[in-house]
């Protein structure tokens, strides 16, 4: 019998409704679980870490894309494969199998590092974290998350090897090596202990650098203050090298070369890698070198003083020898005595020439020669220089002539250097020529003055043409030499030419003569005047004597040498009216009493005051503001003229001087 009562119908409807609700909840739960599964799967597949799920029998249940890519496999190649036998190196399988057994037996989490084999046979190192997944009390499977630490392990291995290598170098180095941290030595090697003569390194550790140093460094500064300053410099610059004096355990102070290098241990910690090198021998050698240099400089200074004194002591009496012999030669009428006077004059000039060469060479060697440019007429200067050798050429019965297309050539050059160049070349030509003669020519060649000195003398063999430029060398040398001379003329000539910016060349043939070609730059403001014809106008050398009725210019000669003070008035007789004073003070007194047109002032006067001081006092007088004072000195070497011009002198002449040179200088200096 079916009961269709209203109560029964209501109960069925209510049950259906609850069933529908339960069904909807189950659907939602399934969707949520699916979403969680998809999320977990996505997370597993996209994580940069390795992920693998293994069944209890060790076969691969799942492997993510990161791990598959690293091993070089596709998913179908690994699922169901035995993990140990396919992906783990043979030497690691036993160890890893025990770990799997512990996971299965004790259901423990584990953390382990092991190697994996890639498909192409490479080995990578992975750090694993393993966890068991249980189904009730039974192991369902276990999962492992891993990180590829291959590069990290290689870096650690490299670092360990580097540390080992550094420690070996640190300990075995012959140089002392120390580590400074927070201004203290925190480590050092055995070489440091030996260098400082301590028993062990513990005695040195945690000391400040100044504690292993004398109280003061050689420069007088406190070792502590200087050390702190140097440490600060090293930290700012990154490295610093310097010399330092340390102190050994027994008190001995010694020099070291120190190199500090900043090493960053981490972001917040820096140390100073310190290397000491004992430089005792180096400093000793350096000090010996300094001492030797100082001695050499002192010897050079003494040599210079000796040569300057020798110059003075020889030049001063030569004024009398050359001056009086020339006066006697001009005044004496008896032929035999006239010849004797001529011999004395000639010998004196030879002696002075040798002295000048030696003194100039000394100046060259000490590099004290400076070019002193003045405006001069080069053609006139060449003629004047050649004139001084005409008598010697005449005695040898050879010709000496000058040829030029120029009447004059005014330019800026060093007069003394240029004169010495021409004199040395002409002197050599006359000396080595016994037949024929010498021709000197001077013409403009582009921007150069081209001077040729051509002789018909003995010539120079090919194998000797290089040595003639060397000091004290001649073609004929030794006791058997034929020709006189010091062997310095061409050395000095070449040096002077190069200082003037020019060059010199030689063309010679043994037995047929020589030609020296000199090229010297002409200054831009040079003023050449062409000669009316190429005929050589003979330079007489003798200044024109003043007419009797012409008023002579007045000259004061201040000189303490009793011979020179007699020679000069005789030289200037008929040219200038000369008064003499035997000391600087007497010269000042005469200048106060009378205004002269010029003053010749000897520099090295022994009484009361020297010539420079006397000239300075006279120049302060209003009457002498524009009166030229000419320096006269026996301390005469190339380069001295500039010194006297800077001291306020109008010009300079060195002893001994010829009558012609003196008159020419006065005529050029005094306003006519």
Longest dimension (CA), the chain: 197
Average pLDDT along the chain: 81
Q: Which one has a higher pLDDT value, 266 or 75? A: 75
- Across 66-84, average pLDDT: 89
Q: What angle do CA 159, 163, 164 make, to 5 degrees?
A: 120
Q: What is the pLDDT of residue 605?
A: 80
- Mean per-residue pLDDT, 461-466: 73
More confident residue, 160 or 390: 390
Tell me the C-alpha distance between 555 and 408, whole Å: 30
Predicted pLDDT at 481: 40
Lowest mean pLDDT among 150-164, 204-218, 237-251: 150-164
Name the pLDDT band for 480 (thresholds 50, 70, 90). very low
Average pLDDT rounded to a whole number, residues 201-215: 92
pLDDT tier, 483 (very low <50, low <70, confident <90, very high otherwise): very low
> How sure is the predictor about 648, in pLDDT bands with cuts at 50, 70 and 90?
confident
Among 429, 490, 486, 491, smallest CA distance to 458 is for: 429
Residue 393 structure tokens? 């050429």
pLDDT-based confidence at 98, cuts 50/70/90? confident
Least-confidence region, from 49-58, 248-257, 269-278, 616-625 = 49-58
pLDDT at 329: 79
pLDDT at 58 over 50: yes
What pLDDT does residue 593 have? 92
Q: What is the pLDDT of residue 222?
A: 95
The pLDDT > 70 percentage for the chain reads 78
Evaluate if residue 84 carries a pLDDT over 90.
Answer: no
Q: Which of 232-246, 354-368, 621-635 has the lowest mean pLDDT?
A: 354-368
Sorting pLDDT into bands at 50, 70 and 90, what band is 281? very high
Phi and psi of 617, rounded to 5°? -70, -45
Q: How far apart are CA 236 and CA 216, in angstroms?
A: 24
Give the lowest-confidence range in 52-56, 126-130, 529-533, 604-608: 529-533
Asked whether the beta carbons of 402 and 452 are under 8 A apart, the reply is no
Position 4 scores a pLDDT of 53
Say if CB 315 and CB 348 are below 8 A apart.
no
Cα 159 from Cα 425, distance rounded (Å): 77
What is the per-residue burial (b if ≥16 Cβ within 10 Å, else e) of 317-329?
bbbbbbbbbbbbb
Tokens of 584: 């600087």
Strand partners, 63: 52
Instruction: State the pLDDT at residue 249.
Output: 93
- Does 5 score more than 80 pLDDT? no
> Does the structure show a pLDDT above 70 at 207?
yes
| 483 vs 429: CA distance, rounded Å | 12
Q: In sequence order, what DSSP letters do the residues of 497-532 get, joined into one string?
A: HHHTT-EEEEEEETTTEEEEEEEEEPPTT-EEEE-S
Q: What is the pLDDT of residue 311?
A: 66
At residue 237, does pLDDT exceed 60?
yes
Q: Between the CA atoms of 347, 510, 481 and 478, what dihedral angle is there, to the nearest 10 degrees?
A: 130
Alpha-carbon dihedral 577, 579, 584, 588, rounded to 10 degrees: -80
- The residue with greater pLDDT, 172 or 59, is 59
417-459 pLDDT, tens per residue? 898 899 889 988 898 898 999 999 999 888 889 999 999 988 8
Q: What share of residues in the chain are helix, strand, coil (percent, to 5)?
A: 45, 25, 30
Would you place residue 245 in the very low, low, confident or very high pLDDT band (cuts 50, 70, 90)?
very high
Give me the phi and psi of 27, to 5 degrees please.
-60, -45
Query: What's residue 484's pLDDT?
Result: 46
The residue-averaged pLDDT of 200-225 equals 93
Q: What is the pLDDT of residues 608-629, one digit of tens each?
A: 788 889 999 999 999 998 899 9
Q: Which two tokens stand for residue 26?
A: 């189950």
Please state which of the ranges 89-103, 232-246, 473-487 shows the lowest mean pLDDT: 473-487
pLDDT at position 11 over 80:
no
Answer whether 0.75 is exceeded by the pTM: no
**Cis before 385? omega within 30:** no
At residue 473, the pLDDT reads 47
Whether the predicted pLDDT of 539 surpasses 70: no
């Amino acid at each position: 019998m079916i009961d269709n009562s209203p109560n029964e119908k209501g109960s069925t409807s209510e049950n259906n409704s609850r069933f529908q609700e339960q069904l909807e909840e189950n659907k939602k739960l399934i969707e949520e679980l699916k979403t969680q599964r998809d999320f977990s799967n996505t997370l597993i597949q996209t994580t940069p870490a390795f992920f693998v799920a293994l069944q209890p029998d060790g076969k691969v249940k799942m492997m993510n894309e990161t791990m598959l890519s690293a091993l070089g496999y596709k998913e179908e190649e690994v699922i169901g494969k035995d993990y140990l036998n396919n992906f783990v190196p043979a030497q690691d399988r036993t160890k890893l199998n025990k770990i799997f057994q512990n996971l299965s037996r004790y259901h423990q989490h584990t953390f382990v590092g092991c190697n994996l084999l890639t498909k192409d046979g490479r080995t990578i190192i992975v750090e694993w974290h393993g966890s068991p997944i249980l189904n009730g009390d039974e192991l369902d499977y276990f999962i492992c998350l891993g990180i590829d630490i291959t590069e990290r392990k290689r870096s650690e291995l490299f670092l360990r090897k580097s540390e080992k290598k550094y420690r070996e170098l640190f300990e075995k180095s012959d140089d002392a090596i120390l580590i400074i941290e927070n201004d203290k030595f925190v480590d050092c090697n055995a070489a440091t202990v030996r260098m400082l003569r301590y028993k062990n390194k513990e005695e040195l550790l945690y000391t400040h650098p100044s504690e292993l140093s004398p109280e003061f460094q050689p420069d007088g500064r406190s070792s502590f203050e200087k050390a702190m300053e140097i440490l600060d410099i090293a930290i700012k610059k990154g490295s610093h090298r310097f010399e330092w004096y340390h102190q050994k355990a027994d008190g001995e102070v010694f020099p070291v070369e120190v190199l500090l290098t900043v090493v960053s241990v981490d972001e917040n910690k820096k140390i100073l890698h310190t290397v000491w090198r004992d430089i005792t021998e180096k400093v000793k050698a350096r000090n010996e070198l300094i001492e030797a240099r100082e001695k050499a400089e002192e010897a050079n200074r003494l040599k210079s003083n000796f040569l300057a004194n020798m110059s003075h002591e020889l030049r001063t009496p030569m004024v009398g020898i050359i001056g009086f012999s020339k006066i006697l030669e001009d005044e004496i009428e008896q032929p035999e005595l006239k010849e004797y006077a001529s011999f004395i004059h000639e010998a004196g000039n030879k002696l002075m020439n040798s002295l000048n060469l030696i003194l100039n060479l000394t100046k060259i060697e000490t590099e004290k020669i400076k070019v002193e440019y003045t405006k001069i007429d080069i053609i006139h200067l060449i003629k004047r220089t050649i004139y001084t050798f005409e008598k010697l050429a005449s005695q040898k019965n050879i010709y000496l002539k000058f040829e030029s297309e120029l009447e004059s050539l005014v330019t800026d050059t060093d007069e003394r250097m240029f004169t010495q160049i021409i004199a040395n070349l002409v002197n050599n030509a006359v000396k080595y020529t016994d037949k024929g003669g010498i021709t000197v020519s001077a013409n403009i060649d582009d921007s150069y003055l081209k001077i040729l000195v051509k002789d018909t003398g003995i010539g120079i063999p090919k194998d000797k043409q290089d040595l003639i430029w060397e000091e004290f060398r001649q073609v004929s040398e030794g006791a058997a030499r034929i020709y006189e001379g010091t062997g310095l003329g061409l050395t000095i000539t070449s040096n002077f030419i190069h200082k003037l910016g020019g060059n010199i060349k030689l063309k010679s043939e043994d037995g047929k003569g020589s030609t020296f070609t000199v090229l010297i730059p002409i200054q831009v403001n040079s003023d050449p005047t062409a000669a009316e014809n190429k005929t050589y106008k003979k330079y007489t050398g003798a200044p024109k004597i003043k007419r009797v009725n012409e008023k002579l210019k007045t000259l004061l000669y201040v000189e303490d040498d009793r011979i020179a003070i007699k020679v000069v008035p005789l030289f200037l007789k008929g040219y200038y009216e000369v008064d003499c004073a035997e000391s600087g003070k007497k010269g000042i007194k005469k200048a106060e009493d009378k205004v002269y047109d010029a003053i010749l002032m000897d520099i090295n006067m022994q009484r009361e005051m020297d010539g420079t001081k006397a000239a300075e006092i006279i120049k302060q007088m209003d009457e002498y503001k524009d009166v030229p004072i000419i320096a006269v000195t026996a301390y005469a070497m190339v380069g001295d003229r500039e010194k006297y011009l800077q001291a306020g002198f109008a010009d300079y002449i060195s002893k001994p001087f010829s009558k012609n040179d003196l008159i020419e200088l006065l005529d050029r200096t005094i306003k006519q």
